[in-house]
Structure 1
Amino acid sequence: MRRLPLRGRITLLASAAVAVAVAACAVASWFLVRDALYGQLDRQLHAQAEGPGGREGDWTPREIAIAVQSCTSEPISDTDDSPFGFRPPNGRLQQVVLDNGQVCTMRNGGKMPVSEADLSVVRGEREQVLYNGSGTDADGERVNVRIITSARYLNADGYRITVMTALPLQQVTEPLRELALTLLLVSACGIVGSAIAGLVIARASLKPVDRLTDAVEEVARTEDLSVRIPEEGTDEIARLGRSFNTMTAALAASQERQRNLIADAGHELRTPLTSMRTNIDLLIRSQETGRDLPPETKTRLLDSVRAQMRELTSLIGDLLQLGSPAAKPRQHTEVAFHEVVERAVERARLRGHGLTVTADLKPWWVEGDPDSLERAVVNLCDNAVKFSPPAGTVEVTLNDGVLLVRDHGPGVSEEDLPYVFERFWRSPSARSLPGSGLGLAIVAQVAREAGGDVSLTAAPGGGTVARLSLPGTLIRS
């Protein structure tokens, strides 16, 4: 069944469900009608076997006396005009069973075999039994009958006899046979109709899925993430459509960010590469022409190449950190964040010649990647060192999971604060300084991965305060 398409499976399941329901109703109807017919037949049997003095055509003591007096076990057929020559109504069969188990047939009453249940009534163990059996009618033909065997008392002396009365089952079996045929035809028509209805319902229900499939195939063929499908209704299909539109919108935004990253990275890479190529061309041309450059000029060119290579290496590292976070598996372990900050502060002191870097660190344990956390803190400290004035001070504090890095530099203007964590964004005052504009973007990414947040605000009295907050505990777990 799994090999069938979804439309075929829905049609098959709908047809099967309707078929089971129709079959159950048909079977239940057949049994209800059967019980009703048997109930009607049993009432007729009780009326026929009520005893002497009943309606015209019922048995009488005279008939019993004749049957007992001339007791014979062979069927008696009599069509004369005597009072006892009538044909029993409804094909009724009747006979008398003596105390010794001998059968005495009655005129035109046919004959029935005596079962153990009948003998139990003869012995007085039971007053009455009712069951299906068979017998021979007055014409000698075998018929299936419903038999009631009961004990009767014919006079005041308590003369007791056992009478077996039967009616043909034909009045039950024939209607049941016709009903079964009718129900079979109705069930077949119902199943065929349900299959057609299931196919129609499946087609109507799966139209939104077809539209979604067409949209997915269109995106796969054209790579156009602007494709949208109509969002109609509130059912599961509509929810799926909205989810697809949300997914394509997110993919489009991600693709746009990727394009921007590539474009910005290309722009940023072009500057150091161009400078390096120019300096190297000058050195090569000097060597090829045999005109040596002055030693101070050659030294300045080599220092420039070295600086550009360092900038290019740093930029490539930042791009790998931002653009390929899955390239290196993250090791999320318990990290002593205060020790990470302490190592970053030591690196900042080495880079900030002439600067004073103070640290007030309280213990704090976090879950995260140690290398990424250290890279983020180093970026914050490097920013503070880069923008600090000569002989300035950088203050680093860690208290209750909140890291504050404060410098006393020119600060960031209010209009620039919303953009400081964007990739490659640099304020006008920082464009003349070394850097790629990716440091704070890396800090924001690491903060998000660790479940924290980062912000940059202007400090009272000048300078900038970088605030990095990470969830954690005071003691190691």
Structure 2
Amino acid sequence: MSRRRPAGVRRRQRPLRTRLALAASAAVALVTLGVCTAAFFVIRYEMFHQLDLNLTQSATRLIQEHRGEGPDVLAGECRFLSAPACAQIVPAAPADDPAAPYLLPVSAPVREVAAGERAPYFSNITLFGRPVRMLTTPLGRGRAVQVALRSDTVQRGVRQAAGLLASVGLTGVLVAAGLGYWVARTVLAPVTRLTATAERIAATRDPRHRIELPGPAGGRQDEVTRLAASFNTMLGELEQSVTAQRRLVADASHELRTPLTALRTNAELLARSERLTDAQRDRASGALGRQLREVTGLVNDLIELARDEEPRPLLEEVRPADLAEHAVTTARAHWPAVPFLLDTDPAARPVTRPGVPARLTRLLTNLLDNAAKFSPAGSPVEVGLAVRAAALELTVRDHGPGIAAQDIPYVFDRFYRAEAARALPGSGLGLAMARQIARAHGAELTAEAAPGGGALFRLVFPAEGAGPSAG
């Protein structure tokens, strides 16, 4: 009694390597069998066709030799022409038959050929226990000639060819199976490594694993190898993203620990306000407000920094010159002790670029706040906007202590602070956020030491038509 498989249980599917090997083997096997079958029929046709040509030549020779003779059985026995053969002449009327018996069978179609009522034809008969091929063709004057040749040698040759071709076909199928398995194993080797790597990453949650690629890096690569290379590139991007996320979480938790501890301390202190004097209560309240603003600003910066790209519908044509004037005006109100000097090239005033005004304003504000924070009282912050080689360049320079050479590679890292900035307010996220906004708009933000002292930040927008890379 057979058991049915439950509806929810599906038959386990064969691995891709096995299916590909079977498909390749079946394709080659079908081609091999088809070629062998076609070769068999061609050989069989050619061998019998050659036998028929021999019969035709023998009949032609007999016709030329007995054109004027009457009905006759040639020597009354089989004669050897070009091969073991029998030949006889048959009249159309049975009354004209010779006295000797016919060696070859005479039927009504033979009489019809003799009478000219039927075309010549070939037939297969058995004579003296051997297979024979016979041709019946008209001789003229109401006669037909029959010529027969033994066909057992031809049939033996056909059987030998069939056996040989069957052996070749079977060997071809076995070779096709081996080649199919080898091809499947070779072609799917990168896919196998890719699968193993993906499973290992899923098990360990470690994106540092990579797929080993065959051959030199600059050599010719097929589609599967390019897939593996793309997967390695994706793993690299994933590793960078995971590393950056972990570093952001670690840095954010470290930066938030101090203000949160201070907030808790001041909150506990204000909870016992009846034990404090009015001056102590005011100082604690003021400290609590400052720390709340600091934490709020840090959280807002983290939220802004966590945005990877701008939604494309928010893009619009903006004029950087107007944004720079607005940002400088706002900075003058926020930093009254620091003079801000804006120098805009007339050629840069009408220039527009696709972008998000609020985000670009935040970028400029961060640069100006950073410059003002390091500028001594009375020292100006110089802002310049000009068009250079079809690109729009904005510079912000201060006259503070500048940037040490060892700090320049890390200026835009999250939460990084140089030795000179440890005692200054800020979260260490402003410049990181500025670079992220710049790259989202297809621009490049760099930092360098300014000639004569101070720091110089250079924001270069691409030429018109280059556009933002991420919306």
Output the TM-score relative to the length of structure 1: 0.76
Alignment coverage as a number of residue pairs: 437
Change (3 A) 1:104 1:48: farther
**How far apart, in 2, do the equivalents of 1:150 and 1:181 lie?**
39
Query: Are 2:92 and 1:87 equivalent residues in the alignment?
Result: no
Q: Which residue of 2 aligns with 1:316?
A: 299
Query: Are 2:426 and 1:435 equivalent residues in the alignment?
Result: yes
**How far apart, in 2, do the equivalents of 1:416 and 1:330 lie?**
35
Contact 2:375 2:399 in 1 (8 A): yes
Change (3 A) 1:113 1:224: farther
Change (3 A) 1:343 1:104: farther
Query: Are 2:282 and 1:299 equivalent residues in the alignment?
Result: yes
> What letter is aligned with 1:26?
C
**How far apart, in 2, do the equivalents of 1:280 and 1:135 lie?**
117
**How far apart, in 2, do the equivalents of 1:284 and 1:371 lie?**
40
**How far apart, in 1, do the equivalents of 2:160 and 2:20 lie?**
34
> What letter is aligned with 1:319?
L
Q: Which residue of 2 aligns with 1:388?
A: 375
Contact 1:134 1:143 in 2 (8 A): no
Match of 1:219 among 195, 201, 205: 201
Aligned pairs for 1:26-45 (under 5 A) are: 26-45=36-55
Change (3 A) 1:160 1:322: same
Q: Which residue of 1 aligns with 2:399?
A: 408
Contact 1:364 1:472 in 2 (8 A): no
**How far apart, in 2, do the equivalents of 1:284 and 1:208 lie?**
66
Q: Deviation digits for residues 208-234 of structure 1, max 9, x if unmatched?
A: 544443333222112234445544435
**How far apart, in 2, do the equivalents of 1:118 and 1:364 lie?**
103
Offset, 1:402:
1.0
Q: Deviation digits for residues 241-296 of structure 1, max 9, x if unmatched?
A: 555555445433433332222221112112222222222222222x2xx234224x
Offset, 1:424:
0.8
Q: Deviation digits for residues 301-332 of structure 1, max 9, x if unmatched?
A: 32222222222122112212223426x74546
Contact 1:147 1:166 in 2 (8 A): yes
Change (3 A) 1:184 1:178: same
**How far apart, in 1, do the equivalents of 2:16 and 2:109 lie?**
63
Q: Which residue of 2 aligns with 1:444?
A: 435
**How far apart, in 2, do the equivalents of 1:187 and 1:94 lie?**
44
**How far apart, in 1, do the equivalents of 2:12 and 2:351 lie?**
55
Q: Deviation digits for residues 81-105 of structure 1, max 9, x if unmatched?
A: xx7211255454554576x9x9979
Match of 1:183 among 145, 165, 178: 165
Match of 2:330 among 323, 330, 347: 347
Q: Secondary structure at the match of 1:469?
A: strand
Ranges in structure 1 where 5+ consecutive residues have no aligned partner: 68-77, 153-158
> What letter is aligned with 1:284?
A
Q: Secondary structure at the match of 1:436?
A: coil
Contact 1:344 1:378 in 2 (8 A): yes
Contact 1:137 1:143 in 2 (8 A): yes
Match of 1:13 among 5, 23, 32: 23
Q: Which residue of 2 aligns with 1:111?
A: 106
Match of 1:66 among 49, 62, 71: 71
> What letter is aligned with 2:161?
L
Q: Which residue of 2 aligns with 1:198?
A: 180
**How far apart, in 1, do the equivalents of 2:130 and 2:305 lie?**
97
Aligned pairs for 1:150-189 (under 5 A) are: 163=145, 165=147, 167=149, 172-173=154-155, 175-184=157-166, 186-189=168-171
**How far apart, in 2, do the equivalents of 1:277 and 1:271 lie?**
10
Query: Are 2:116 and 1:134 equivalent residues in the alignment?
Result: no
Change (3 A) 1:266 1:146: farther
Match of 2:316 among 331, 334, 337: 334
**How far apart, in 2, do the equivalents of 1:112 and 1:340 lie?**
113
- Please report the RMSD computed on the Cα atoms of aligned residues, expressed in angstroms: 4.1
Offset, 1:441:
0.9
> What letter is aligned with 1:273?
L
> What letter is aligned with 1:147?
L
- Percentage of pairs with the same residue: 37
Ranges in structure 2 where 5+ consecutive residues have no aligned partner: 1-10
Q: Deviation digits for residues 128-156 of structure 1, max 9, x if unmatched?
A: x875x4376788x998846374667xxxx
Output the TM-score relative to the length of structure 2: 0.77
Contact 2:78 2:87 in 1 (8 A): no
Q: Secondary structure at the match of 2:76?
A: coil
**How far apart, in 2, do the equivalents of 1:227 and 1:446 lie?**
31
**How far apart, in 2, do the equivalents of 1:282 and 1:354 lie?**
35
**How far apart, in 2, do the equivalents of 1:345 and 1:103 lie?**
133
Q: Secondary structure at the match of 1:457?
A: strand
